[in-house]
Amino acid sequence: MAAISHHTLPLPDFDRPVKLLLVVAPYYREIADNLLAGAKAVAAAAGAAVEVAEVPGALEIPTAIRLARGQGEFDGYVALGCVIRGETTHYETVCNDSSRALMLLGLDGLCIGNGILTVETIDQAAVRADPAGQDKGGGAAAAALHLIALSRKWKGRTTGIGFRPGGRGEQPA
């Protein structure tokens, strides 16, 4: 079978400063540090400022993001952490609930990049977290930046809602 290539979008350009909140659960410190390094490098490449907040685990990441939203000082958020399958169903709960909560926040208008790794082994996590490897932390930061760019592009648009402007007495075509 032929290798599948991955396409990565170029980072967006911004005409106004961008500030990201990187929320990290450092339960597996080395993995979290690599995710954080990748996210910081991508943010810097896009000229974005960052602030880092640590929380105890992946389940607390969405809550921290929701709390920060109320402060109104961040343009986007990056969720970083690692969940490794164990012997109980706790893995499924943490993976599903953290992912679902982040998705709901995103659907509510927040620009979030999800860099919470869900893996079977620590070796899988190390490959995915490595900034010189798969760089999933950098990918999550890039995702947040792309969503911020889209949000800014579409913010305030009021045209194209389904009505055509017309003068007096004109009938729509």
Catalytic residues: 90
What lies within 8 Å, CB to CB, of 112 at 6+ separation is 65, 76, 77, 78, 79, 102, 105, 106, 143, 144, 147
| CA dist., res. 27 & res. 46, Å (int) | 28
> What whole-number distance in Å separates Cα of residue 16 and Cα of residue 41?
19
| CA atoms within a 13 Å half-sphere pointing along the CA-CB vector of 118 | 14
